[in-house]
């Protein structure tokens, strides 16, 4: 292996506290795994282990497969000397050392995000109903507003309050505020805003509900793990002895509690390596991560910093565009503070003698286009994708969007043009299709009719059902097809043999529908030849279903079908985790559609980034911001940010910053990093488009225009 600038220094590391800021495509996974194996081979981990903490389950799978392969190549036990975990699995294992000292039963469960949200939603709606007069005070309603408008914004406010409450509860937990402390705050601070008091009360009720269920949420296990390490010195010492070295991947997305746990575990040996890219810190919208933490860590006097600046991922033109964006943001092009703009960390292409050269294309490889309006833009993006697949059949492609709600619009357009696609999204794509397939099977068996049968066949049959086959099926009712009394029945149908086989599979399921739910579900897997991932999901559905039937004797297969087919259900959530473990592999000849956030850590040969407008990618304080709640009074338009500032004031005596200014600064800073991430996903070609008049363009579209003018 030929190591590059920065990588060489990391590979020479043997002890101490180390920060490794790395550019996109710097090969940090390769460096972390290679360094881990090097330490094991040299025996520097002694009798302990090297712990790698990373962000997602798919990253854990990637690290594990690479580590095992490298150790096997060295002729060593591939499972010895290391552990790789997500932060949540690490926290879970810490709590399992002594659940009672974390105030939990031995058999505690971690509640999934869907169920947790449902609990918060129910309490939120109850409070909204009880104190509607308080909630309505926050609405910006004028005498001239119609009753329809008032009802519309009332509904919006009721729904939005659920997500605000959920985020504030998560924020309280990130600050280490337990529900008992929340009760004390309510007693001691009468001046708290009335709505924030309601949120505190929902938090208390939510925690009591979790205790009653014997469950904890994901935020909770982090806090309880940190508290356990602080309160039980013997457990801390045992874990410190176990982990001689700790490597943290994606350190730019670390939270205060994550940092606390890793600092505690590394106190004894003081061998902590934190690897990340501060310019790719884009998770603060969805998590309690704090992009400032890794930056501060890199600047600490007791921390050695090694930058890995070289990347072979992109063409030199795309690298130059990314560097241009870094320079532009630091020359006050965006009017943010030094800690809010991109770190001046410029990407270098590889040396001429490097075995893995940067890609080369026959032109600049960066293309921009302005369309008349959004509809015209979407249609043209689809045309361009179709042409690109035809022109570059052996290349991987992606369509990156800022917001989830646009994914379905593009899926409809892609399907209309018969363009093959993949989706990276928790509630769409392959994992969601499996849940839908199981749901449609259960739905048909529970309440069979012809419409459901045709819908199910379209879902499970690999080929298109021909018109003559549809007409043949239309001749008979459900009883005549599956329970014939005469010469009709499946065997006598004039249809494809594969289609007949599926009908036989479905018929067999009717025989199991009166048996125990787990036997019925197991038979679905048998009849439809489920693979390992599908069987894992089916087993989970079986476990949950058994519990549902036990708790409610009136629960039926029809109820189960309803639960499976609900939008954003816990089955979808579990299925997405299973497929995350499996990992994502882009297919050539397909386009992957996802958001810029979910694209982090991935790469494609060709990338399309449409809708580069000021609304999707704001870059100036005067731009419109989707985060602002237009239907609330001016002082509450950024109510979530306001309440977070209030909590900071209550706990840390921090000055309450203007909520609108704070919210805009946070969005502008994250959008800047998001654009940087999006640009650097493209290896060879990058298509960027916008729509409307000049004022509608995002400042980032204009940055690309300026860059291309300089290139040309």
Q: Where are the alpha helices (DSSP H) in 175-232?
A: 179-188, 194-213, 218-231
Q: Which residue has the tokens 């039980």?
A: 232
The response to whether 225 counts as a known ligand-binding position is no
DSSP code of 141? -
CA dihedral 132, 133, 136, 142 (to 10 degrees): 140
Task: Count Cβ atoms within 10 A of the Cβ of residue 103 and give its class: 0-12 exposed, 13-18 middle, 19 or more buried.
Answer: middle
CB of 265 closer than 8 Å to CB of 246: yes
Q: State the Cα–Cα distance between residues 426 and 407, nearest whole angstrom.
A: 12
Is 104:223 a contact under the CB 8 Å cutoff?
Answer: no
Provide the CB-side half-sphere exposure for 451 (13 A, CA): 1
d(CA 59, CA 33): 12
Q: From residue 65, how far is each of 59, 70, 498, 689 by CA, in Å?
A: 10, 9, 38, 38
d(CA 646, CA 636): 13
Residue 514 token pair: 């009166």
Is 22 labeled as ligand-binding? yes
85 is in an annotated binding site: no
b (16+ CB within 10 A) / e for 250-265:
bbbbbbebbbbbbebb
Please check whether residue 29 is in contact with residue 276, taking contact to mean a CB–CB distance below 8 angstroms: no
Distances (CA, A) of 18 to 22, 245, 275: 13, 11, 8
Contacts of range 568-573, beta carbons closer than 8 Å, 24 or more positions apart: 568/114, 568/427, 569/114, 569/435, 570/112, 570/114, 570/115, 570/544, 571/435, 571/537, 571/540, 571/541, 571/544, 572/114, 572/426, 572/427, 572/431, 572/432, 572/435, 573/112, 573/113, 573/114, 573/426
User: Is 19 annotated to bind ligand?
Assistant: no
Calpha distance 102→235 (Å, rounded): 12
- Residue 420 annotated in ligand binding: no
Give the C-alpha separation, 67 to 27, whole Å.
14
Axis-axis angle for helices 639-652, 659-679 (nearest 10):
110
**Is 176 annotated as belonging to a binding site?**
no
> Any idea of the CA torsion for 149, 152, 154, 159, to the nearest 10 degrees?
-160
Q: Tell whether residue 21 is among the known ligand binding residues.
A: no
Nearest to 680 by CA among 272, 191, 230, 277: 277
Please tell me whether 673 is known to bind a ligand: no
Binding site feature residues for ATP = 22-29
Feature table: binding site: 22-29
């Amino acid at each position: 292996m030929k190591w590059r600038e920065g990588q060489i220094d990391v590979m020479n590391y043997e002890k101490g506290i180390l920060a490794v800021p790395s550019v996109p495509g710097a090969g940090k996974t390769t460096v972390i795994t290679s360094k881990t194996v090097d330490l094991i081979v040299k025996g520097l981990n002694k009798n302990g282990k090297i712990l790698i903490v990373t962000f997602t389950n798919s990253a854990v799978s990637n690290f594990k497969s690479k580590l095992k392969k490298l150790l096997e190549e060295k002729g060593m036990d591939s499972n010895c000397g290391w552990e790789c975990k997500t932060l949540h699995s690490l926290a879970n294992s810490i709590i399992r050392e002594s659940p009672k000292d974390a105030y939990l039963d031995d058999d505690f469960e971690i509640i999934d995000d869907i169920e947790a949200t449902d609990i918060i939603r129910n309490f939120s709606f109850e409070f909204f109903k009880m104190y509607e007069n308080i909630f309505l005070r926050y609405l910006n309603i004028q005498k001239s507003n119609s009753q329809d408008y008032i009802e519309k914004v009332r509904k919006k406010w009721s729904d939005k309050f659920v997500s605000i409450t959920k985020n504030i509860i998560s924020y309280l937990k990130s600050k280490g505020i337990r529900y008992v402390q929340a009760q004390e705050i309510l007693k001691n601070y009468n001046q708290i805003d009335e709505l924030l008091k309601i949120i505190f009360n929902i938090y208390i009720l939510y925690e009591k509900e979790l205790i009653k269920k014997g469950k904890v949420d994901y935020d909770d296990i982090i806090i309880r793990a940190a508290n356990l390490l602080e309160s039980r010195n013997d457990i801390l010492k045992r874990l410190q002895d176990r982990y001689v070295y700790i490597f943290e991947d994606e350190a730019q997305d670390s939270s205060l509690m994550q940092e606390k746990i890793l600092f505690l575990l590394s106190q004894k040996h003081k061998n902590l390596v934190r690897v990340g890219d501060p310019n790719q810190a884009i998770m603060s919208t969805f998590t309690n991560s704090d992009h400032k933490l890794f930056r501060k860590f890199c600047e600490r006097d007791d921390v050695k910093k090694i930058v890995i600046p070289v990347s072979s991922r992109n063409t030199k033109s795309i690298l130059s565009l990314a560097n241009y964006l870094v320079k532009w943001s630091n020359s006050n092009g965006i009017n943010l503070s030094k800690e809010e703009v991109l770190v001046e960390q410029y990407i270098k292409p590889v040396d001429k003698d490097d075995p893995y050269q940067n890609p080369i294309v026959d032109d600049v490889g960066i293309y921009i286009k302005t369309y008349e309006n959004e509809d015209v833009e979407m249609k043209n993006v689809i045309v361009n994708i179709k042409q690109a697949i035809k022109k570059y059949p052996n290349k991987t492609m992606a369509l990156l969007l800022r917001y989830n709600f646009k994914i379905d619009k593009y899926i409809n357009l892609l399907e209309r043009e018969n363009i093959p696609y993949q989706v990276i999204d928790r509630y769409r794509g392959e994992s969601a299709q499996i849940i839908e397939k199981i749901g449609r099977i259960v739905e048909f068996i529970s309440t069979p009719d012809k419409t459901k049968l045709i819908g199910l066949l379209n879902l499970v049959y690999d080929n298109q059902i021909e018109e003559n086959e549809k007409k043949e099926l239309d001749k008979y009712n459900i009883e005549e097809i599956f329970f014939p009394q005469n010469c009709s029945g499946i065997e006598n149908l004039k249809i494809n043999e594969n289609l007949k086989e599926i009908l036989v599979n479905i018929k067999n399921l009717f025989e199991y529908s009166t048996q125990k739910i787990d036997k019925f579900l197991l038979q679905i897997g048998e009849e439809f030849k489920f693979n390992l991932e599908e069987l894992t999901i089916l087993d989970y559905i079986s476990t949950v279903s058994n519990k549902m039937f036990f708790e409610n004797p009136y629960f039926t297969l029809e109820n189960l079908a309803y639960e499976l087919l609900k939008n954003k259900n816990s089955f979808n959530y579990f299925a997405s985790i299973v497929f995350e473990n499996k990992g994502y592999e882009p297919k050539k000849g397909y386009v992957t559609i996802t958001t810029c956030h979910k694209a982090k850590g991935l790469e494609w040969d060709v990338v399309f980034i449409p809708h580069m407008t000021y609304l999707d990618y704001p870059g100036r304080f005067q731009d419109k911001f989707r985060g602002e709640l237009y239907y609330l009074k001016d002082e509450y338009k950024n109510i979530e940010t306001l309440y977070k500032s209030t909590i900071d004031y209550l706990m840390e005596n921090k000055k309450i910053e203007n909520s609108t200014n704070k919210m805009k600064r946070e969005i502008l800073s994250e959008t800047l990093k998001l654009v940087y991430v999006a640009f650097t996903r493209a290896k060879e070609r990058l298509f960027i488009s916008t729509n409307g008049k000049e004022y509608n363009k995002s400042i980032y579209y204009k940055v690309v225009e300026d860059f291309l003018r300089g290139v040309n």
